[in-house]
Structure 1
């Protein structure tokens, strides 16, 4: 089969097999491979050691035969090796086959032995059969033109090798079986968090309830968690964020429906009233028409605010370098036109204060803060707006050396301590603000815009009374 075909079959097999099975097979294959390689290496070492011992005995036997029979003619020197307990048998082999004795010897003679006799080849060992039994033979130089062949029965060596092979095969089989058990255990233990993660994800998909969590083992020393545990922890964190998001979404929908119910009811009432215009006086029709227009504007503003709050981040293509000092002055001028009865005092840092952002969104943030301050500002007391650079001044070329900070302070009733944690919540309105116009979304939108621009907006009681809102970039 071609390479792409084999790859396709392999991919299909991997898709059909669960991850736990694939991991168990991989661990089993790895451990089994190591076990087989180790056993094979051990077999070769044992075999080499046994033959090395036999070869040493052959070398000693050849030395003794040469010492006892110096200058012997070609022929058999000793032929007892046909018996298991007999000493080595020995023969003298001439380099010239014509000088062979008339009676053939017990040991086989091959051309390589003639070369050793002629000093054309180094001594060597070979495995032979003597009288139907396995034997090991050494062919070495003996005298000029002659070689000495010495042989010993190798039954014990071969039986030892066979015995070692049987034990090593059993060991390898046991190793493969142990590898399978370990592979299953590793896959079951190592993938347990993944299994719990999968089960949790499937349960959330089935129930659409993000409150479920993966059970994590007790924490060890810091930084000692494994990758799977960290993955499960990250998944739990993600589920927590998802739960918060779903809860906030449901709360937003519930709050929006509650806030829209009253103006929509008033709109319907005024629309029905205008539908019966022939029964109304001109003054009544004018009041109903003005009320309908005002309620339409309120509903439109509320819907626009909800749309703005539904957007989590600013569009990147609209981000540019914004002159914050010019933006503050423009926002205060717009607030003066909208709130002519309120005095606005402005202090702006010298030099250009530049931040990256969306000008329209930053302008909306500032106008929300100014409208909130003007709404609570008592008659005759000013709203104070200040732009300063914290930790630095204007750098060369109009750049900023520190972080810009905008503060908006009013002299109204301030923020009660119990209301302070909730002033930026959607639709939250303190007791003192319930009689004032507004939907309770302005400050929530201001904080969202601030965070989308990498800034932080906080509220705090002002010294001497009133509320202070601090916007820090």
Structure 2
């Protein structure tokens, strides 16, 4: 049994899906066609035989009514004519048999019917070279049996002709089933074939711009395969966007790294000839080298952070946004002592907790505060506020700098994007992109807008658990 299952599994693996579907559909239709033909033959055979037996019963009843000289008699005829019946009477006692031999065969079963020990029965036999059907039944109160036989060659020929016609019909049904199975496999699997061809083309060319052609029609009439193709096209669109974003990230990162790496190499080569430099030149080159190393390290760390799509689940815990905000504001005051940082916390949000990774949320807040500090004028305030809004906690960071131009607003969170006013300031253009990624990983929403009265306003909405 195990060997049979293994052989079937190997056969399924070796046969393509289209062949298996065609064979399955053809086999199903062929079995139905052959079954219908077999059932029709059985019904025809039964009905024609039943009609002949009913004729024999009526002939026997007519013979009993018409016969007056009761007694053992051989058959009236030799069953030479298809329409005439052979009738003979047989007693239960063989001693009462007539001298003339019986034409129809007489057996012990016939004697048993005559004396009532057996019920009437039908028999198929040959008389005078002709196939006949014979009924043996009892004459009531006579201890005799009447045998009525009639030729059955007409019925046999009708059954044979019906069998031939049904065999031809069954064969045609099998051929039609094969054609239908092939058509069903080609039509039903056409979208799958297109999907497979598209996937193979993408694998060969590594080009995610290819799409599967979809049939025209309303979406409500789409079948499962069409929906699969639609989902595959959607997945290809997402893949294309991901590949494009990856290539853009690599290109932008290489562009951003080129300048600091060139400066690093220049300063390193300069320090390699330290014996030719004065102490002041050597200290200046060493300081520049250290600053450039920190910039490159920060840029690489930011790129690594941006490469993470999700927050690690084992590190998620319940954190207090108010405590994180106070910590981030305190760190910003130390890093930017020339600015004034204020934090306003709604009493209802003071003890509120949300699920998240504390280190990542702290990085988000520090990026927002650093961005606000870079654009704030000397001595200017940076205002933060945490308050409750419907279905969320809202944290805002506002500066009083030049604000965000309308043309730059849609690109504020893009990687490496730097507005015209920010290109002279330090930074890599990854801080806000990283902040939005952290927010999305926590199910929050980070937006930017022009603040009333000037400056930029960043709004972080953290949904309630």
| SS of structure 1 residue aligned to 2:135 | strand
Q: Distance in 1 between matches of 2:69 and 2:337?
A: 137
Q: Mean Cα displacement is larger for which, 204-213 or 344-353?
A: 344-353
Secondary structure of 2:79's counterpart equals helix
Unaligned stretches of 5+ in structure 2? none
Of 135, 138, 150, which aligns to 1:138?
Answer: 135
Aligned to 1:159: 157
What secondary structure sits across from 1:312 in the alignment? coil
Mapping for residues 62-81 of structure 1, pairs under 5 Å? 62-70=60-68, 72-81=70-79
**More off after superposition, 326-335 vs 94-103:** 94-103
- Once residues 393 and 101 of structure 2 are traced to their aligned partners in structure 1, the CA distance between those partners, rounded to angstroms, is 112
Distance 1:92 1:429, change over 3 A: same
Query: How far does residue 82 in structure 1 lie from its aligned partner after superposition?
Result: 2.6
Task: Give per-residue Cα distances to partners, 1:371-427, cap 9 Å, x unaligned.
Answer: 111111223432221112222xxxxxxxxxx32221112221111111111111110
- Superposed displacement of residue 445, structure 1: 0.6
Q: TM-score of the superposition, structure 2-length normalised?
A: 0.95
- Write the distance in 1 (CA, Å) between the matches of 2:119 and 2:448: 99
2:327 corresponds, among 327, 330, 334, to 330
Cα pair 1:14 1:22 within 8 Å, conserved: yes
Structure 1 residue 108 and structure 2 residue 134: aligned? no
1:410-429 equivalences in 2 (<5 Å): 410-429=399-418
Say if 2:307 is the partner of 1:318.
no
Aligned residue for 1:59?
A: 57
Change over 3 Å in CA distance of 1:426–1:71 after alignment to 2:
farther
Is the deviation greater in 23-32 or in 403-412?
A: 403-412
User: What does residue 384 of structure 2 align with?
Assistant: 385
Residues 311-336 of structure 1, C-alpha deviations (whole Å, 9 max, x = no match): 11111111111111211111111111
**CA contact 2:71–2:89 (8 Å) conserved in 1:** yes
Residue 124 of structure 1 is matched in structure 2 by: 121
Residue among 177, 180, 183 paired with 1:179: 177
Measured after TM superposition, the shift of residue 300 of structure 1 is 0.1
Unaligned residue ranges in structure 1 (runs of 5+): 392-401
The whole-number CA distance in structure 2 between the counterparts of 1:421 and 1:182 is 57
Alpha-carbon deviation of 1:240?
A: 1.0
Give 1:9's aligned residue: 7
Distance 2:306 2:338 in 1: 30
Q: Over residues 85-104 of structure 1, what are the superposed CA-to-partner deviations in whole Å (9 max), with x where a residue is unaligned? A: 3x211121223344333433
Q: CA deviation at 1:108?
A: 2.1
Query: 1:80 Cα shift?
Result: 4.6
The farther-off stretch of 191-200 and 126-135 is: 126-135
1:470 aligned counterpart, secondary structure = strand
SS at match of 1:78: coil
Deviates more, 1:439-448 or 1:324-333: 324-333
1:466 and 1:150 mapped to 2: Cα distance?
118
Which residue number corresponds to residue 403 of structure 1?
A: 392
Name the CA shift for 1:382/1:96 in 2 (closer, same or farther; >3 Å).
farther
Alignment-derived partner of residue 460 in structure 1 = 449
Report whether the alignment pairs 1:437 with 2:439: no
In the alignment, which residue of structure 2 is the partner of 1:399?
none
Instruction: Verify: 1:305 aligned to 2:299, yes or no.
Output: no
In structure 2, what is the Cα distance between the partners aligned to 1:472 and 1:138?
98
Question: Structure 2: how far apart are the matches of 1:381 and 1:411?
Answer: 7
Q: Aligned match of 1:256 in 253, 257, 280?
A: 253
Bigger mean CA deviation after superposition, 113-122 or 3-12: 113-122
Instruction: Give the structure-1-normalised TM-score.
Output: 0.94
Secondary structure of the 1:141 match is: strand
Preserved CA contact (<8 Å) 2:418 2:429:
yes
CA distance in 1 between counterparts of 2:160 and 2:449 reads: 90
**Partner residue, 1:20:** 18
Per-residue displacement from partner, 1:330-357 (whole Å, max 9, x unpaired)? 1111111111112122121224221111
- Aligned equivalent of 1:201, options 177, 199, 202: 199
Residue 311 of structure 2 aligns to a residue in which SS?
Answer: coil
Q: Distance in 2 between matches of 1:112 and 1:468?
A: 112
Q: How many residues align?
A: 459
Native 8 Å contact 1:71 1:143 kept in 2? no
Q: Secondary structure at the match of 2:146?
A: strand
- Label 1:97 to 1:318 Cα distance change in 2 as closer, same or farther (>3 A): farther
1:59: how far off? 1.4
- Secondary structure of the structure 1 residue equivalent to 2:360: helix
Q: Secondary structure at the match of 1:216?
A: coil
Q: Does 1:33 align with 2:31?
A: yes
Change (3 A) 1:96 1:470: farther
Conserved in 2, the CA contact under 8 Å of 1:118 and 1:146? Answer: yes
RMSD: 1.5
In structure 2, the partner of 1:394 is none
Is 2:438 aligned against 1:449?
Answer: yes
Deviates more, 1:275-284 or 1:20-29: 275-284
